[in-house]
Structure 1
Amino acid sequence: MPKNGTSKEPMAVTSSLNSIHISPRTPRTPRLNMGVGEEEDVELELLNEEDRVHSARHFHDSEDDASILEMEDMSKRPISPKDKRNMVLLCVLYLLQGIPLGLALGSVPFLLKEHLSYSQLGTFALSSYPYSLKLLWSPIVDSLFFKSFGRRKSWIVPMQIIVGSLMLYISLNVQRLMDDPAHNVVELTTVFTMLVTFSATQDIAVDGWALTLLSQDCLSYASTCQTIGLNTGFFASFTVFLAFNSEAFAAKWGVPHITLAGYLRFWSVICFVITIWLVIFKKEDKEPASESDMSIKAVYKTIWTICQLKHIQLLIVVHLFAKVGFAANDAATGLKLVEKGLKREDLALVVLIDFPFQIMGGWLAAKWSRGDRPLRPWIWAFWPRLGFALIATLIVYWFPRPPISMAFFVLLIVHTVLSSFASTVQFVGISAFHTRVSDPLIGGTYMTLLNTFTNMGGTWPKWFVLKGIDLFSVATCKVPDAAVDVKECISDHGKALCKDINGVCITETDGYYIISAISIGFGIIFLVAFILPTARKLQRLPTSVWRVKMS
């Protein structure tokens, strides 16, 4: 075991997993028993919120109880061979999403860190926004398709071909782009934004496909398949790749040295192979006409109708600000550890230890989310995550000069495992809640609506965090035998000027600690004042009030 710095990296992994939230499938929950008359109108009907809640509680509480008992009975049935095969397929499809996400949100920013300022990294972070904005085009994915080819395959197949082609393009141009990243920030951001956009489109189709790909009694395992596939792909492209990309790691452990170009070409080929298999060997079952005949206009109208529900509006506010408390930790802690001297070749060991705990956390959270309090694990995990964010800030502050001691090495591993576990519990917990309340009538769009705001809650603070670090930082350039120091050594221009005159940048005030304090402070106040009472209120609502009425 090396005495060099060991990766606290999964904190950065955790950041991306929480800012990019892939929606699980929606179970087929009991529909409202509609009578005749106005309730059979083909248009979407939005009842007064209080009347709707009162009516739902009066007439449908018994149906919700019966539904819970039915789901518990289903959970005891053995999983069929067909469902097992389809679960593997879901894991593979989410794996293909995790690969480009791990590159765009993980390894590439780390490779660029020594060449770019935090503000420039904030610009590159914009490439993650498509996952937070996919609601804008999810109705198109849900409504347009070739019936003969398959509703979901009509999108999954071309999206994976495009993603594979983009990775091949990047592999052929990566040397040019990475040799002078300061002058190629716009091109790098553009190409990775496209990569994430097409991966997000594939995600919408996969979410909708799982409505028929998995049987009713196995839909509760959707978030577990999601966690396994996404985490595996993300870790492979982030920490594992960073380790094997290190020449020191390859020489020390006798493993092949993997370049970014070679890694991209490998996954490009894998993407093409899986896509060909889907086309030739996987037949998509037809979906009921009631779920596939909605026009694009009808789906957008449904989204607008859902957004007018008061409890949906409360949930949106919760999602938009829930992750601010961890924003500084998620966006910048990993980068700061690298800046402090953490070596990439030490990341692999931490990932190997942490990964099983990620999977176990997802499994436990799925079990804890059953019953009448589905948000319980998500609520419980808030306090540990805020505490681990504070500890992470202290670890950065007290990070010793390499080589680090064994005690500090163990501290990093324990902190990484526990913080990742808490993050995964929240990730799967909120997924399970969305799965429970979402209406399957419009396929993946209802889930995409909810997760759009979950994603935005983890995405929008990143730019402000990275910009804020530079804004609050004070650094000067110390030049030997010079009477006056260069005033500014924060921007890329200032660092380059300092280097040209043989100076050394000395940080007097690190904006990371100020931003971290603001982030954690806001997180605690918002949690106590708004999230806790609102979450408890939302999970007490019957499932029926989350539905939109259609004939």
Structure 2
Amino acid sequence: MMSVRRRGTDGLEDGEMDHLNDAQTAREPSNTKGDEKNIAILFFLYLLQGIPLGLSAAIPMYLQNRGVSYRQQLANALVVLSSTAEDGEIEARISAEFSLVHWPFSMKLLWAPIVDSVYSPSFGRRKSWLIPTQYLIGLFMLYLSGNVEGWLGGGDVAPNIGVLTFCFFGLSFLAATQDIAVDGWALTMLKRCNVGHASTCNSVGQTAGYFLGYVVFVGLESAEFCNTYLRSTPADTGIITLPGDTNLKDITRHSDEFLEIDEWIESFRFLYFWGVVFLATTTLVALFKTERPCDHPSHPEQEMGIMQTYHLLWKIIQLPSIRTTVLILLTCKIGFSACDSVSSLKLIDAGVPKEKLALLLFGLVAAFLVWVTPFLITGGIVPLYYYVLLIVSYAFHQVTLYCMFVAVMAFFARVSDPAVGGTYMTLLNTLSNLGGNWPSTLALWLVDSFTYRTCSVASVDNDCSSAEETQACVEAGGTCNISLDGFYIESLFCFIFGWLWLSWGRNKVKELQRKPDKDWQVVKRRNSR
């Protein structure tokens, strides 16, 4: 039985809910009047989502800032490794272990139907998951704030990588669940003519949260950065800390005086602060933000069991429009794979300092920069104009990257069936992520296979294609020199494939954009009586 929908008194209605049918509203021009508060709420929810993701990315660098050597990090990573394991093997195993932290966002499709089908109608379909999930994230952060210090190690104490991986995996799992709920809520919170703005909220909000959790945290936690740019008097630590251990004794001794700004900020505890923010803002959303069902007058929100929702997911995949979309999403990033995954590593090998390089370059420009870098860097000194070239390339890449991302997300939001919005959006987002991950992994795996080497000692006739041949070359007093870098072969292949894909894919994409809403709907519509 459907409950009567009444307007809330908080002024935060879900898109006014008095829209026209799908075909009309999908073609209405965007009009944000009346949706300003909803857009702000979505932006903030996505910002919160980015905080745990940024923290997860910052942990390896944070360990280095604490003086924990990489070998110490490896030593405690996997107890199953034998004492005779090679460093390369250990590094691969530790990378594989900590990469589990990022898995939830690639696996969230597995439990998205549960989020769509299990909820309290009186509380709200999305709020039933959003509110408890964000409370758990806040409580988890408070718990980590008081306990993570012992797991991080430092000095001669190795960090407990297993526990850190488990904890941040849990944090990412909760963030992925929050993402499912917010993606679904965005489809009904905004007017149908404004649903494309959900992609902007997603990209800008999540990027801002990631920036706060990663870049801002790493910078302000670094004593070197703070002493150089923020402090008048140098100190041994940064102005913020990750766990809940702050030197309160040193601060309380100034209780009868005004604290200097860096002394006051030194009491700022990152995990504790964001834990409190999660708890406080979640309470406000729970109390003052009402949730309304889908905005289709002829289509009340569907109530289905878990198995029905999984069956519905299979029906979504069988839609002809979705099958074409799947093919596009899984192949559209092949042309960028060598650039995205290999170019930055090659630049580091050529002598660009790692701490200066956080760049994702584009296309053949990346290949050109990799080729020219060894000629521009002499004596380990990187000239200023080289950084200018990188910054210009990076800025252009970021603008084009986010233009494409926002456009794709806006398209996902427009075509997703609001009746199963969480599952629908999660399916498309997961396929989009997978379409970027598998080509990058393949490019990294194949780059060595396409690389040709020769031993510098003429008497040693081998191509250094195996560990034994490499060792033979070294024992003969030579080195294995690269005669043809596999990166250039991959870049050429990706460039050719990209142009071929564009000649095919652009027409397919235009066809998908012209399809009516009914071609994307998986739930049969019935006229209201």
Settle same-fold status: TM greater than 0.5.
Answer: yes
Which residue is 1:397 aligned to?
Answer: 371
Whole-angstrom CA distance in 1 between matches of 2:346 and 2:149: 27
* 1:152 shift after superposition: 2.6
Which residue is 2:25 aligned to?
Answer: 67
Whole-angstrom CA distance in 1 between matches of 2:237 and 2:327: 43
SS at match of 2:325: helix
* CA separation of 1:413 and 1:268: change in aligned 2, threshold 3 A: same
* 1:201 shift after superposition: 1.0
Q: Taking every aligned residue pair, what percent have the same amino acid on both sides?
A: 34
Which residue is 1:447 aligned to?
Answer: 425
5 Å-filtered alignment, 1:415-434, equals 415-434=393-412
* 1:471 shift after superposition: 4.9
5 Å-filtered alignment, 1:375-394, equals 388-394=362-368
Which residue is 1:298 aligned to?
Answer: 308
5 Å-filtered alignment, 1:271-282, equals 271-282=274-285
Picking from 397, 413, 416, the partner of 1:435 is: 413
Is the counterpart of residue 526 in structure 1 residue 501 in structure 2?
yes
* 1:269 shift after superposition: 2.3
Q: Which amino acid aligns with 2:229?
A: W
Whole-angstrom CA distance in 2 between matches of 1:320 and 1:264: 40
* 1:127 shift after superposition: 4.0
Which residue is 1:5 aligned to?
Answer: none
Instruction: Give the alignment's TM-score, normalised by structure 1.
Output: 0.66
Matched residues, number: 443
Whole-angstrom CA distance in 1 between matches of 2:54 and 2:517: 35
Which residue is 2:7 aligned to?
Answer: none
Which residue is 1:202 aligned to?
Answer: 178
Contact 2:151 2:164 in 1 (8 A): no
Whole-angstrom CA distance in 1 between matches of 2:323 and 2:59: 35
Contact 2:223 2:238 in 1 (8 A): no
Structure 2: gaps of 5 or more residues? 1-13, 72-86, 245-268, 295-299
* 1:514 shift after superposition: 4.3
* 1:100 shift after superposition: 2.9
Structure 1: gaps of 5 or more residues? 1-24, 33-62, 351-384
Contact 2:135 2:282 in 1 (8 A): no
SS at match of 2:362: helix
- Write out per-residue CA displacement over residues 341-391 of structure 1, whole angstroms, 9 at most, x where no aligned residue: 44466579x9xxxxxxxxxxxxxxxxxxxxxxxxxxxxxxxxxx9x92221
Whole-angstrom CA distance in 1 between matches of 2:273 and 2:175: 15
Whole-angstrom CA distance in 2 between matches of 1:258 and 1:488: 46
5 Å-filtered alignment, 1:171-250, equals 172-175=150-153, 184=161, 191-216=167-192, 218-244=194-220, 248-250=224-226
Q: Which amino acid aligns with 1:522?
A: F
> More helix by proportion, 1 or 2?
1
* CA separation of 1:416 and 1:210: change in aligned 2, threshold 3 A: same
* CA separation of 1:253 and 1:447: change in aligned 2, threshold 3 A: same
* CA separation of 1:216 and 1:318: change in aligned 2, threshold 3 A: closer
SS at match of 1:398: helix
Instruction: Give the alignment's TM-score, normalised by structure 2.
Output: 0.69
Mark the structure with the bigger radius of gyration: 2
RMSD: 4.7
Picking from 440, 451, 459, the partner of 2:437 is: 459
* CA separation of 1:122 and 1:243: change in aligned 2, threshold 3 A: same
SS at match of 2:196: helix
- Write out per-residue CA displacement over residues 36-56 of structure 1, whole angstroms, 9 at most, x where no aligned residue: xxxxxxxxxxxxxxxxxxxxx
SS at match of 2:202: helix
Is the counterpart of residue 84 in structure 1 residue 62 in structure 2?
no
Which residue is 1:262 aligned to?
Answer: 241
Which residue is 1:35 aligned to?
Answer: none
5 Å-filtered alignment, 1:490-529, equals 508=482, 511-528=486-503
Is the counterpart of residue 285 in structure 1 residue 297 in structure 2?
no
